[in-house]
Structure 1
Amino acid sequence: MSKATKKKHVTKEVLDDFVLPEEEEFIVKVTAGRGNNLHEVQNSTGEKFLVSMPTKFRKNVWIKRGDFIIVNPIEEGDRVKAEIVTILYKDQIKYIKQEGKWPEQFNEVENEDLKDDMLPPSDSGDSDDEIGDMVRNVNRPQVYYEEDESDSDEDSENEDG
């Protein structure tokens, strides 16, 4: 199988399959990437440990901090305690919640994260031209320019005189 075909099949599987965690599998939240295809995760009880990404996902699917995944525990691992089975996206999480298999502890964490990510609404009004003010990149410093009215008055007097 070529790389392109493999990537197509893996991506389709990750995006389109709606799976529920089986009896030994469980849902965890990714807290950090540790390199070398290892990720630090936190389970519903708050325990943190490392999980490995299987070869089929490597260079085909990306996960980031805050994503939810289904993992299968491995017995032989001291530091690495599980392997990723499925990466969950918004529609798959919604399906798991409808089936009643979603851990309640992650509902509370998800609501707290949403509160942290929300920005206060802009005071600039409802104009479509100012939509950019409502969506701010929190990773960039906010710079505000104020125009000094006294300078503009002097300039206009000098131009007239």
Structure 2
Amino acid sequence: MARPRRRDMRAAAETSITPPDKLTQTQSLARVIKAEGNNLYTCLLPDQRTLLFELDARFRNAVWIKRGGYVLVELAPQEQKGKVRGEIVNVVVEEKEWRKQSYWPKEFPRPIYGDEDDEDDDEESTVGKMPPSGSEDEE
């Protein structure tokens, strides 16, 4: 199997940086839940449906999709048989740019990495320090 050309990989990456102006009726944003293998991914749609999607050929071996990341999917017509319900037509690389778009679903909130209201930060950390010796208690 031949490796994709460098310019093909760059073109695939560049298309995923810029979000489209608007989505069609069959397109939707989805969160990747699990990589199933053979370019198949289980994704969560904004309406809480979990479906199986196939990665578009131009992104194979060019873009890495992480679990919890976002993708733009195109749902296949209902007449299609099989487990695969559509195709991943774009990968969200610059999430900040995509979130600015009006079609970004409210069901996918911004991730919270840490609580700034932790009051435990005032205490001194004991990581990497020796435990207190018993000599201080022996007075």
Question: Is TM more than 0.5 here?
Answer: yes
Partner in structure 1 of residue 97 of structure 2:
92
Structure 1: gaps of 5 or more residues: 126-132, 134-142, 152-161
Instruction: Choose the corresponding residue for 2:24, options 19, 22, 34.
Output: 22
Partner in structure 1 of residue 75 of structure 2:
73
Check whether the contact 2:53–2:88 (CA below 8 A) recurs between aligned residues.
Answer: yes
Size of the aligned set, in residue pairs, is 128
Distance in 2 (alpha carbons) for counterparts of 1:67 and 1:77: 27
Check whether the contact 2:15–2:90 (CA below 8 A) recurs between aligned residues.
Answer: no
Partner in structure 1 of residue 39 of structure 2:
37
Check whether the contact 1:39–1:52 (CA below 8 A) recurs between aligned residues.
Answer: yes
Higher helix fraction (1 or 2): 1
Normalised by the size of structure 1, how large is the TM-score? 0.66
Write the letter of the residue equivalent to 1:84: I
Partner in structure 2 of residue 122 of structure 1:
121
Partner in structure 1 of residue 104 of structure 2:
102
Post-superposition CA distance 1:43-87 (Å, at most 9, x none) = 111111100001110111011111111111123242110101111
Partner in structure 1 of residue 130 of structure 2:
146
The CA RMSD measured in Å over matched residues stands at 2.9
Normalised by the size of structure 2, how large is the TM-score? 0.75
Higher strand fraction (1 or 2): 2
Post-superposition CA distance 1:63-117 (Å, at most 9, x none) = 1111111111123242110101111232332231xxx21222223xx4xx52xx4
Distance in 1 (alpha carbons) for counterparts of 2:63 and 2:122: 40
Distance in 2 (alpha carbons) for counterparts of 1:71 and 1:148: 57
Partner in structure 2 of residue 62 of structure 1:
64
Write the letter of the residue equivalent to 2:84: V
